[in-house]
Amino acid sequence: MKKKAGSMFWIIIASVSLVYLSLGLLLYFFQSHIVYQPYKELIGSPQDISLDYEDIAFQASDGTHLHGWFIRAQEPKGVLFFCHGNAGNMSHRLETLRLYNRLGLSIFVFDYRGYGRSKGKPDEKGTYLDAEAAWNYLRTQRKISQD
């Protein structure tokens, strides 16, 4: 009887270990699908909610073509650099953009690679490159200082 109990113990340990390893591998191989949830289609634009905006095209340092909007405030108190998050795209944030605009802020919002009209496939390194490219656009093209 002790021999059967010992065998059963190792079968349970092996089964639990196999399940744990399988889940770990699944998470590893599908992590980008879990973390990045892009939506390609724009569901609206700032024009739909009566905001004055300009379509912006710019490139990341690796050549990826990116898309953003510069939304002007009537009497700007500052500029908000808006990174929208990991799901959807910038068009899903129109109400939030309107709120900040009503507070007197001009806004630069952009889509990461693979989101909205931006090209490429989302990944961690690309996200950093895209944010850096957007920031550089603000500094060089819009002459926005870091202050």
26-52 confidence digits (pLDDT tens): 878 777 777 788 999 999 999 999 999
Tell me the CB-side half-sphere exposure of residue 137, using CA atoms within 13 A. 25
Beta strands per DSSP E along the chain: 37-38, 53-59, 65-71, 78-83, 87-88, 105-111
Out of 12-21, 26-35, 36-45, 82-91, least confident range: 26-35
- Taking residues 120-140, report their average pLDDT: 96
Question: Which pLDDT band, with edges at 50, 70 and 90, does 1 fall under?
Answer: low
Please determine, looking at this structure, whether the domain spanning 39-140 carries the CATH number 3.30.379.10. Answer: no
DSSP reduced 3-state for 38? strand
- Map 71-125 to HEC letters: ECCCCCCEEEEEECCCEECHHHHHHHHHHHHHCCEEEEEEECCCCCCCCCCCCHH
Domain spans, the chain: 2-35, 39-140
